[in-house]
């Protein structure tokens, strides 16, 4: 899913829909590109957004767009290459041998949209690719995202989703619980939603505002309540839940354990079985003990 608040309207199916869970509305039709190509890997997710026929290719990415400049495409590709290299190193992924791309695809596809204006998201991932607003999108300034330090985390969040999809070899978001899918994307990107939980005060504040809503109980995107609550409460809690799992001062698991969990799921193991096997705690136990564990962890 993806995660930037572009307007007071909605956070993001981005956040909420990392792996193509719902359709987002558009404010209007984009201008017709000169050399329109009415196809792309992103079409499988329901977004029939054509590109202009001039993709930019780098070592691991192919950047398509409706109208973004060559400079904007290159800058996005550079950001994506850096994020991919960093994440592969953190997860112990050497080369691309562990990845499974959709048939006929050998690199990650990016669709950088410039003339579309989704009202509910800014970035969205699917198996083998992602869609994100271009660096020269005319609304970028209006959204307040002119600084790269607000753009890079969104790209990183989405690339984490893509890596997960390539390890699982699937576009099915229900193979892995949503709290983990969104939590790991928030964890590696530093958080793109409401302020992250960095101490007990922020944790207590969220519970005082919203109640003891257990993030581990969010197993499917269809379990989501309203987007506002997801943005303000659940995403920071998802991030905290994952931070605890992979912190040496918390549960102490490694990102290589998570990598292997995804591979187990690809090989047919259920998420709950793979989680218990690789992380040494069951999802049910984590859900039951969550608030006690966090109280101790944040003290």
DSSP 81-93: HHHHHHHHHHTT-
4 occurs within a structural domain: no
If you count DSSP H runs as helices and E runs as strands, how many of each does the chain have, helices first?
11, 5
The residue among 148, 172, 196 that closes a domain is: 172
Same domain, 38 and 60: yes
Give the predicted TM-score (pTM) of the model: 0.89
136 and 157 inside one domain: yes
Same domain, 188 and 282: yes
Sequential DSSP letters for 281-294 = S-HHHHHHHHHHHH
Number of domains in the chain: 2
17 Cβ contact partners less than 8 Å away, ≥ 6 residues apart: 1, 2, 121, 124, 173, 221
The one-digit pLDDT tens for each residue of the chain (299 residues) are 444 433 322 333 333 334 333 333 344 444 444 689 999 999 998 899 999 999 999 999 999 999 999 999 999 999 999 999 999 999 999 999 999 999 999 999 999 999 998 877 789 999 999 999 999 998 876 666 677 888 999 999 999 999 999 999 998 888 999 999 999 999 999 998 789 999 999 999 999 999 999 999 999 999 988 778 998 999 999 999 999 999 999 999 999 999 999 999 999 999 999 999 999 999 999 999 999 999 999 98
Question: Is there a single domain that holds both residue 49 and residue 163?
Answer: yes
Final residue of a domain: which of 137, 172, 207?
172
The answer to the question of residue 267 being in a domain is yes
Q: For residues 120 and 4, is the Cβ–Cβ distance under 8 A?
A: no
Choose the final residue of a domain: 144, 172, 200.
Answer: 172
Could you list the residue range(s) of the whole structural domain that residue 111 is in? 13-172
Q: DSSP secondary structure string, 73-136?
A: HHHHHHHHHHHHHHHHHHTT--TTTT--PPTT--SEEEEEESS--BSS-SEEEETTEEEEE-TT
């Amino acid at each position: 899913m993806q995660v930037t608040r572009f307007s007071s309207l909605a956070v993001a199916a981005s956040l909420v829909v990392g792996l193509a869970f719902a359709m987002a509305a558009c404010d209007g039709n984009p201008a017709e590109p000169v050399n329109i190509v009415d196809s792309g890997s992103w079409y499988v997710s329901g977004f029939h957004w054509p590109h202009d026929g001039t993709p930019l290719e780098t070592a691991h990415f192919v950047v398509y767009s409706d109208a973004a400049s060559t400079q904007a495409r290159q800058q996005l590709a550079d950001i994506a290459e850096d994020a991919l290299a960093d994440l592969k190193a953190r997860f112990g992924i050497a080369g691309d041998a562990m990845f499974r791309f959709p048939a006929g695809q050998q690199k990650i596809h990016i669709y950088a949209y410039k003339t579309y204006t989704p009202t509910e998201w800014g970035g969205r991932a699917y198996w083998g690719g992602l869609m994100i607003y271009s660096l020269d999108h005319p609304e970028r300034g209006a959204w307040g995202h002119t600084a790269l330090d607000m753009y890079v985390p969104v790209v990183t969040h989405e690339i984490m989703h893509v890596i997960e999809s390539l390890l699982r070899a699937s576009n099915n978001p229900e193979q892995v619980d949503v709290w983990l899918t969104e939590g790991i994307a928030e964890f590696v990107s530093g958080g793109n939603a409401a302020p992250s939980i960095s101490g007990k005060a922020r944790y207590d504040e969220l519970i005082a505002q919203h109640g003891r809503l257990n993030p581990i109980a969010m197993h499917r995107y269809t379990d989501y309540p309203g987007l506002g609550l997801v943005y303000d409460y659940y995403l920071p809690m998802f991030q905290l839940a994952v931070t605890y799992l992979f912190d040496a001062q918390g549960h102490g698991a490694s990102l290589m354990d998570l990598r292997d969990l995804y591979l187990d799921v690809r090989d047919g193991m259920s998420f709950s079985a793979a989680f218990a096997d690789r992380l040494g705690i069951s999802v049910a136990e984590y859900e039951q003990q969550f608030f006690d564990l966090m109280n101790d962890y944040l003290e």
